Structure 1
């Protein structure tokens, strides 16, 4: 047989029973769809769950301090630079530091020398911020060169700075052994260190960091604008409640706290993600099962045309014929629900034993699975049973057996 003739015969065979072919094709489509959905939804839900657990493990708390009002008669700052010491004494706090910046120091022309030669590109526009001495630990950074200023530099109001690693690269400073200087706002400052590997407040990698005492004297950076706190795992929520009180007793409501999400809310979110994932997979699997039952029942009707015709000839009504096939498909669904629930419970228990987990079984779902299977079988058998009921006795008896 020529391949074209073979294709023609195959196509004719498919089109001879279009509904059966359509159901068979739909079963394959849903099977492949289930595979794609399983992989895609599992990856999506997995990413969502990982994101939630990343939020859980976050131990960073940020306290934002509103700027002081220029016309305020109260000259006492809302948060003092020494307030971080009170925060460090809180249970669960591992490190804390305060930052101060202003609109006038966010874009400052900084030069690596004080010679204005034609074509010289050593000047860069950088942010200048004041920070307390505990900044490296608070931003989870490391000193790639030199050291960070200490309490002695603060007490002496030394004109020293620490550069972020990107700022140092822009200014062409890689070593601090020779005490290089930078110049801005008409003043010279000695570079004593370079801070790199910054994980929090990464904008500081392109900033010039000055001691708060020097910033207050020469740059007007008197007020704290941000407090960074790192906590132990699980202590962020408690520290987020206590830090504003420690920083501004009596005015804690004026501060804004940014903290990781509540553990119970994250747990509920993860549970909802998992439940949603398996609910979608379960529903798609039920649809595939329904298509399979419908396909098998329709095939059964086609193969039992003679039997249907004989029953109709002997006096069986359309309702009785339809009821017979509906009952058959419902029985198939019921048996499938019972076997599926038993296998599902067995698989859950086996996986839990292998993984040394505690098996968690929903008895409502286990006992309701047979009823769900029966309902799926009932719905799947509607069309085949109606097809059988519409057969006329004479046409059914004339059909080939």
Structure 2
């Protein structure tokens, strides 16, 4: 009567399945490294965009996604300005909470009147009122806003760099706008939703009229509305600003540009995930190759175990366990590397660290699946060896 084969417990199976890993450590490390690289890449390219997205959402929440911008159409023949009464008309829209206007004076700003009168360093001189900062959510890096009556200016962050004015000092700093000297009294922090302000030199509304022959017609309106009514306000703004020809007024939502940028980043993330899957596939092939070689090298061990009563299922389970454990170790290492890389990159950029649980679960599950698939052929091959054939190779 043939005795019943002994059933291997989980502990015994793990002990047998890790013999090859414990006796050939360098080979195991190198094989697991391929899996680790793929998993680390997958975790990082999934988590980093999530961290970036969370930072963007926090940023939009702080800046307010309810900012609308109204500008005249750029079509040939159109008046490049808006009506003088446009800000007052827009402020009458019920959900509108604040309105600010700026106007391009078409003047040229220079650090010194000794420079070329036509070289404005790519900067725009805008007439503005103090309420502009509140509507944009902009902040002064230092100094104060330009005076309404006196020739003073506030520089956007880019404008300050191009004009060589890194900071406000006790000694008055002057810039030339046209033939008039203006004193720099403030510098703005960057304004993400309105990058055109970063490249602008802001002059008080009344000062622009008296010093630069400004006619009082705005060129851009910035409108804050109740967040729940942004789309409704967006729809009625053209007719409000230009009742006779609504097509002349173009309304945009500046936060859309940041969201579009985010969508572009997500497109590249999909590409990187594809590359990570290729790396994981290559790692899986490396594990399969390692297991095939392991079976060839351990024919004597397989033959001896079969002669002592181990059945084919136990041999198959032993080598399949080894393959899964090898890939699991690579997956765990890769996950830790991916999380560490994500945390380092996010903290370096000042983003919140976001590692989706689904990404970690998918990474570990993918590693185990790759190990199982990679171990099928070697384990089946090992199980097919008969005791006599295996021991004959010794």
Going from structure 1 to structure 2, the CA distance change for 1:387 and 1:48 (only over 3 Å counts) comes to: same
1:23-66, Cα deviation, whole Å (9 max, x unpaired): 62443313642674377446633443234424642424333323
Q: Which of 154, 161, 173 is 1:164 aligned to?
A: 154
CA distance in 1, matches of 2:258, 2:56: 10
CA distance in 2, matches of 1:245, 1:169: 41
Greater relative contact order structure (CA < 8 Å, 6+ sep): 2
- Per the normalisation by structure 2, the TM-score is 0.52
Going from structure 1 to structure 2, the CA distance change for 1:287 and 1:251 (only over 3 Å counts) comes to: farther
Residue 49 of structure 2 corresponds to residue 50 of structure 1? no
2:344 maps to none
Matches within 5 A, 1:120-135: 127-132=124-129, 134-135=131-132
Matches within 5 A, 1:23-42: 24-30=28-34, 32-33=36-37, 36-37=40-41, 40-41=44-45
The answer to whether the 8 Å contact 2:87/2:101 transfers is yes
Matches within 5 A, 1:2-13: none
2:188 maps to 197
SS, match of residue 64 in structure 1? strand
CA distance in 2, matches of 1:183, 1:286: 63
CA distance in 2, matches of 1:207, 1:134: 16
Going from structure 1 to structure 2, the CA distance change for 1:35 and 1:237 (only over 3 Å counts) comes to: same
Residue 70 of structure 2 corresponds to residue 63 of structure 1? yes
SS, match of residue 73 in structure 2? coil
Matches within 5 A, 1:126-275: 127-132=124-129, 134-139=131-136, 140-142=138-140, 144-145=143-144, 148-149=147-148, 160-165=150-155, 166=160, 185=178, 194-200=185-191, 201=195, 203=197, 207=201, 209-211=203-205, 215=209, 219=213, 223-230=217-224, 239-249=233-243, 251-254=245-248, 255-261=250-256
1:268-299, Cα deviation, whole Å (9 max, x unpaired): 99999999999969x95997799499849848
RMSD: 6.1
Structure 2 gap segments, 5+ residues each? 1-23, 326-355
The answer to whether the 8 Å contact 1:308/1:388 transfers is no
1:152 maps to none
CA distance in 1, matches of 2:317, 2:146: 83
1:396 maps to 390
Going from structure 1 to structure 2, the CA distance change for 1:229 and 1:197 (only over 3 Å counts) comes to: same
CA distance in 1, matches of 2:197, 2:82: 22
CA distance in 1, matches of 2:374, 2:145: 76
Deviation at 1:382, TM superposition (A): 0.4
CA distance in 1, matches of 2:37, 2:51: 21
Deviation at 1:99, TM superposition (A): 1.9
Residue 303 of structure 2 corresponds to residue 305 of structure 1? yes
Going from structure 1 to structure 2, the CA distance change for 1:331 and 1:134 (only over 3 Å counts) comes to: closer
2:333 maps to none
Q: Which of 83, 95, 108 is 2:86 aligned to?
A: 83
CA distance in 2, matches of 1:181, 1:324: 86
Deviation at 1:163, TM superposition (A): 0.6
1:164-195, Cα deviation, whole Å (9 max, x unpaired): 1447969x99699xxx9997556x6887x934
- Per the normalisation by structure 1, the TM-score is 0.51
CA distance in 2, matches of 1:232, 1:301: 75
Residue 89 of structure 2 corresponds to residue 95 of structure 1? no
Q: Which of 365, 372, 382 is 2:377 aligned to?
A: 382
1:275-332, Cα deviation, whole Å (9 max, x unpaired): 9999969x95997799499849848765222455899xxxxxxxx96x8855776799
CA distance in 1, matches of 2:289, 2:176: 82
The answer to whether the 8 Å contact 1:52/1:270 transfers is no
The answer to whether the 8 Å contact 1:64/1:226 transfers is yes
The answer to whether the 8 Å contact 2:98/2:135 transfers is yes
